[in-house]
Copies of this chain bind each other. A is one copy, B any other.
Amino acid sequence: MLLTVTLNAALDLTYRVPRLRAHETNRVTEVAERPGGKGLNVARVLAALGHETVVTGLVGGATGAVLRTLLAASTGVRDELVPTAGTTRRTVAVVDASTGDTTQLNEPGPQITPGEWGAFLARYATLLSGAAAVALCGSLPPGLPVGAYADLIRRARAAGIPVLLDTSGEPLRRGIAARPDLVKPNAAELAQLTGSTEPVRAARDARRRGAGAVVASLGAEGMLAVTPDGAWRAAVPETIAGNPTGAGDSAVAGLLSALAEGLPWPSRLARAVALSAATVAAPAAGEFDRRTYDALLERVEPVALRSR
């Protein structure tokens, strides 16, 4: 079983407007609601890949109840979310139909109490015992210690479970010091962490800080893996047009599943790159296009980088 953790779950709303006019009244023509937060997105992709998948994290209030109802309708994801008194946040993606541009509004999330964090830790311990690998994903809600991910990483390592961390800022910095097996920052997050805008140098620095391996997403330039076994770069052979929402979460799903399967690093990287591109190609945000994925997986060829 693969486990994903979403501490700051969200009810994701997508609003389509003919043309977004700031400082005016906009009539929304289409509304879509789905369970959100990076870990839930990762889980949906894992389940679609055929993996037994469990989600945990924190969820509460009326929006939390809607999220759980929608989650129950997604096949193959088991809900082990822990309830909170506070209300799960919403995110609103406003898609301007005239340009395709998206304006994102993210609520901050509920205040988590020490008792709720304790209840989560107990559930996490139970779930870890049956997990082949765990992904810790996204921002921390208010009230949690900034070292919350570091704590979860230490517990996974103590249980002998491979652990992937996908977050940013201070929680990423603290998390890396707890020695996760893999982190997946984008170029900006890596630069913020290390002070270096050169991705290979920054990824090597992140490894020195404690990360077992670093897979950095470089947007249209594909991905970079810096690992104990060597360093590789991979990209899709042609430009993929579409919606990049969820591409990073699909990459995490590819990495986590390949990590659990014990595949070599070039195969892990190829899977992440192909899934990510197949998500950009899919018409619905956060879904992946299966045929694009299968076709790309055969064609993505990671290139080894010289060691320095």
Partner-B contacts on A (CB < 8 A): 13, 15, 17, 20-29, 31, 62-63, 65-66, 89-90, 92, 94, 96, 101-108
Contacts and interface: CB of A to CB of B under 8 A. Distances in A.
Contacts of A62: 62-63, 65-66
A26 B26 CA distance: 18
Contacts of A13: 90
A229 B225 CA distance: 82
Interface of A is mostly: strand
A29 B65 CA distance: 23
Contacts of A105: 15, 17, 26, 28, 92, 94
A65 B17 CA distance: 26
A26 B65 CA distance: 25
A103 to B, nearest CB: 5
Q: How many copies does the complex hold?
A: 2
A2 to B, nearest CB: 28
A89 B15 CA distance: 12
Contacts of A15: 105, 107
Contacts of A92: 92, 105
Contacts of A27: 106, 108
A101 B65 contact: no
A13 B23 CA distance: 16
A65 B66 CA distance: 12
A104 B26 contact: yes
A108 B25 contact: no
A67 to B, nearest CB: 10
A24 B107 contact: no
A106 B26 CA distance: 6
Contacts of A22: 20, 22, 101, 103
Nearest to A23: B101
